[in-house]
Every structure is written in structure tokens, then in C-alpha cells.
Amino acid sequence: MLQGKTAIITGSTSGIGLGIAEAFARSGANIVLNGFGDAMQIEKIRADLAARTNARVVYSPADMSKPKAIEQMVRQTTDAFGAVDIMVNNAGIQHVAPIEEFPEEKWEAILAINLSSAFHATKLVLPNMRRKGWGRLINVASAHALVASPYKAGYVAAKHGVLGLTKVTALETAEDGITCNAICPGYVRTPLVEQQIDDQARAHGIPRDKVISDVLLQRQPNKRFVEVAELAALALFLCSDNGASVTGAALPMDGGWTAQ
């Protein structure tokens, strides 16, 4: 389905981003991975993905808080594959604290990585997408792009901003064969979340299943995690011909959280 297309997926050395990268690679796309981590481990992830899918896979170490690094990542992709056809803005960080205690440096970092990076990447890839008359922009937002939670001022503000950017991009590209959408997951079963479950179970002295049901999934009516494969399948649909009329949308995958 994506033969000959090239996709950048930021924050893709684990979790949601890696799941989307694998789905795209299995559909024939060239893949640019991005994220922080141990260099040897990242090379193993890159090589394993290429071997499993028979796709061309490269890695960019771009720091998504730095516009020049994002520009270099896009240039690297263009040099390697000729163009960026699909841009998935997935990189993100989190910090939890009351507003009056929220560190200013954390606020700035969250906005830079969760919101501004999507703007810079979008700005850089749009001209070529317009020339080709085809492009797909997918912003991995959150249920927190639609609703708020206490103590997450930076994250909620950034994700609401991502949704606004999504809508503006969709309107500006509506006649150009380009779509831009926001996927808004609830809690997703990733290695990071699994670690949070273990940490909270130890900290509060309660079983893992209680952490899951009474803490993490308290707001998700279906009481189960979103699976990475489900998000990857939605992203793949948005890149398909059948997704061509879906643009400017906030697409919740949250077990009913934002229906309340």
C-alpha cells in the first residue's frame, strides 16, 4: 500500500512510534526512525525492523526540541530517499506537577518537543508534498488534546495546541492531495506505561491490577489499555486511499474516555 513512500516517525525507537514504523514498513514504506537512547540498542532496533519487514530503515538522532536538528533530519531523509511523503509527529515528554510548582524549564521543554517540533517538521515537509500533490501528516496527540487532567499543565496545553495546528494544516492543504489528522489515544500499553504500573504498585503498596483499574484506567470506560497495534492500524488507514477524505480530524482511541 505504501510502496515507494517515505515516512519519518519521530519518537519511534519504542512504544507507539515504533509500532507505527513497523506497520508502515510492512506496507512497503521507507522508514526514518528517530529518538533518544543507547546507540547500540537503537542500531539493533533499526536492523531488526529492516530484517523483519524487508524495508529500508535509517535512523536520525535529531533532538526534536531543536529546529536546526529537525531541518537536518528532513534533509537526511530527502538525501536518502528523495522526499518525505508521510510525517508522523509522535515525539513527546511529560511532567506532572501543580501549576504553581511546575518548573519553567519543564514547561518550555514540553512545548518545544510536544508542540513546536510538529510545527517545524510540518513547515519543512509541506513544500515537497504540495509539489507532488500527495502527503500525509499524522500528529499523535492524546485524549489530553480534548480534555484536561490536573497537574499536567504543560502536556495538556501542548496537546491542545497540536490539535489546533492539525486543523489549520488541514485547512491550508485541503485542495493539495494532503491530509493532516490527530490521533488521540488514551492510555496505551507500552514499555513506559508498564514501568509506571510497577513503580506505582511499589510506591502505594497495591497490586498491579489495582493500579491499572483504579489509577491508570479509571477514566477509560472499557477498562483496558489501547494496544499499539490498534493505533498503528489507524495511522495506516489514514495513509491509505480510503483515508483521503479524512482531514482536520481529532480521532479518539481512548475506550470512551472523551465521550464522558
Q: Are 217 and 256 in contact (CB under 8 A)?
A: no
Helix 67-81 to helix 117-132 angle, to the nearest 10 degrees? 30
CA distance linking residue 218 with residue 209, whole number of Å:
12
Q: At residue 60, what are phi and psi to the nearest 5 degrees? A: -115, 130
CA distance linking residue 195 with residue 208, whole number of Å:
11
Q: Please give the positions annotated as active site.
A: 155
Residue 183, beta-bridge partner list: 140, 251
Burial grade of 191 (CB within 10 A; 0-12, 13-18, 19 or more):
exposed
CA distances from 253 to 19, 77, 146, 229 (A): 15, 30, 12, 12
